[in-house]
Amino acid sequence: MLTPAVEMAYREHLSSSVQSADPEVAEEQLYRRWLAGKEQDLDEVTRDAFHQRWNAKQRVLQARKS
C-alpha cells in the first residue's frame, strides 16, 4: 500500500479512468494501479500477468544484490 504522501501526490493518476487509445500505455496505467492496490476489477489473466511481471522484477532486483 501507498503512504499517505504518495497517495496524495498521485491521487489524480490513480483515480482517473484509463483512457489511452494505446494498449501499451493503458496496460502500464493498469499495472501501476495494481501495484498501488487500486485496481480491483482485473480479469484473472491480467492479474496473473501482473503477478508474473512483478515476480520477474523482484528476481532481477535480487540478482543485482548478489
pLDDT tens figures, 16-50: 778 889 999 899 989 988 988 887 789 999 999 99
DSSP string, 10-39: HHHHHHSPP--SSHHHHHHHHHHHHHTT--
- Taking the CA of residue 15 as centre, how many other CA atoms within 13 Å lie in the half-sphere pointing to its CB? 6
Which pLDDT value is given to residue 47?
95
H or E element in which residue 43 lies:
none
Which pLDDT value is given to residue 22?
92
Which pLDDT value is given to residue 50?
96
pTM of the model: 0.77
Which pLDDT value is given to residue 17?
77
Distance CA 36, CA 19 (A): 18
Model pLDDT for residues 46-63, shown as the tens digit of each residue = 999 999 999 999 999 999
Q: What are the sequence ranges of the domains in the chain? A: 4-65
